[in-house]
Chains A and B, each alone.
Chain A
């Protein structure tokens, strides 16, 4: 009897919810939640809130929930990836934190999720992408609309690997507009021409029934909230 959830593909039925994605993008997710539905205690919304818990909460009792969320997300994705694909030597690449390493708010949660997947599936991980400067949520609206700015802010680092991969699983927590994915994919493929990139997300955010402008602007893409 199958038990693991399978990944869901962002296909023609769903793609319209993610402004920047087109039909050449291969994106998959495990769970969903509705934008600003006021359900902080829905299972998935709760998981994402805990996953994104800000770094200044470190050391408080609540930090436990962030560690649990990282484990749940990583183990859930690992089981789903195993159930979904028979992959021939892919490389796992975590989406980069929005803050640079020197910033106290630098949060490597996606790397930790990726590491759990890599350990569970015996796949290599490479941090191939890094933001050159902080993506500031206070001023990010215009930038978020500008894939070029997002792309220019990304630093590419070549990986050193014994076995060349046949494709990249680009791991991130939440798929909202798809801007971050589009920028990361663009930088990866510029440096690795022809490399297939699969976006793999813990969850996708479903826009409200009647999306307003804020759905594509104010809501944080991958910043802490």
Chain B
């Protein structure tokens, strides 16, 4: 029977749709509330696993906040950026291995790089010349073996790791302790621009909260937090040369805690530093003491395709 269609219209009830501008506005709003931290936010979402950031705030406030963030990013030179939101497609499930998983992060560049098998290379901001040489050489070796090098764009070891990967024509991801629009140290602004243009820069730092801090030191807590994300994004962490900076230690702890086969390598030189006791403590908990880079590549084996769907035939 060919009946003419009659429609009772409209109405689908919209239950749960991710509108990225509203979600990023809601996330930024949550970060403006008292006692906001990665832990308190993760606790709120853990208590309400069906909720999106926008479920915590009215949609008008979320939308206005989102627009403000986009405007501020534009004013500060970030014209293009993307977001990854928990429960939307493309959100990396490996981020859920973190103790306090981030619900939303910003990125600039080619997101697909985040899917590639990766290793974090981190260490002190004030390395020895030998430490710098090792970081660069290790990064080249890793990209030569098919790994993406992830680091934090800090001075010292991080910078050498990014540069080593780039010099070898490999892939590198910078996970910032600042918003996408800020650079620390400032002299790495050009390297950050290059990685955002050719590779991938990721930030979990809320822009409004960061800019609202009168004292720049108050934003320091974002740096070790990004090390947790670096570990979550990668199959292994290599600590090239250590200091007592909290970021390196935080990342070592995260690599051990997040499990799922993640490996933690600590180069021999870290054990030789009489001021540091934690390399031995982490070794006792499963970290691998490395005197030769071949130990790293042997232990890692060949990078596996993390795609999870069959290859193109």
A-side interface residues toward B, CB under 8 Å? Answer: 1-2, 5-9, 11-14, 28-34, 37, 39-47, 49-50, 53, 60-65, 68-69, 72, 80, 83-90, 158-161, 164-167, 192, 194-196, 198, 203, 206, 209
Contact = CB atoms under 8 A, between A and B. Distances in A.
Interface in B268-313: 305, 307-313
- Interface majority SS on B: helix, strand, loop or mixed? loop
User: Taking each of B6, B10, B20, B312, which has the highest tally of chain A beta carbons within 10 Å of its own beta carbon?
Assistant: B312
Interface string B22-63: 101000000000000000000000000110100000000000
A32 B111 contact: yes
Given A29-B89, A85-B14, A72 B309 contact: yes
A39 B110 contact: yes
13 contacts: A6-B52, A6-B88, A43-B115, A62-B313, A72-B309, A85-B12, A86-B12, A88-B13, A166-B8, A167-B9, A206-B111, A209-B80, A209-B197
Contacts of A88: 11-13
A41 B307 contact: yes
Contact of B16 (A83, A90, A209): A83
Contact of A40 (B11, B20, B308, B312): B312
B1 A166 contact: no
A89 to B, nearest CB: 8
Contacts of B19: 8-9, 11
Given A13-B70, A43-B307, 12 more contacts: A5-B87, A9-B18, A28-B17, A32-B89, A33-B112, A39-B110, A44-B90, A45-B112, A72-B309, A85-B12, A167-B10, A198-B12
Nearest to A87: B12
A7 B12 contact: no
A37 B312 CA distance: 16
Interface of B: 1-22, 24, 49-50, 52, 66-67, 70, 80, 82-83, 85, 87-91, 108-113, 115, 197, 305, 307-313
Nearest to A49: B312
Contact of A43 (B4, B9, B113, B308): B308
Contacts of A34: 110-112
A43 B12 CA distance: 31
B309 A161 contact: no
B237 to A, nearest CB: 24
B9 A195 contact: yes
The 8 closest A-B pairs by CB, nearest first: A62-B313, A42-B112, A39-B112, A31-B89, A13-B21, A8-B18, A65-B313, A87-B12
B7 A195 contact: yes
A160 B6 contact: no
A196 B9 contact: yes
Contact of B13 (A7, A49, A85): A85
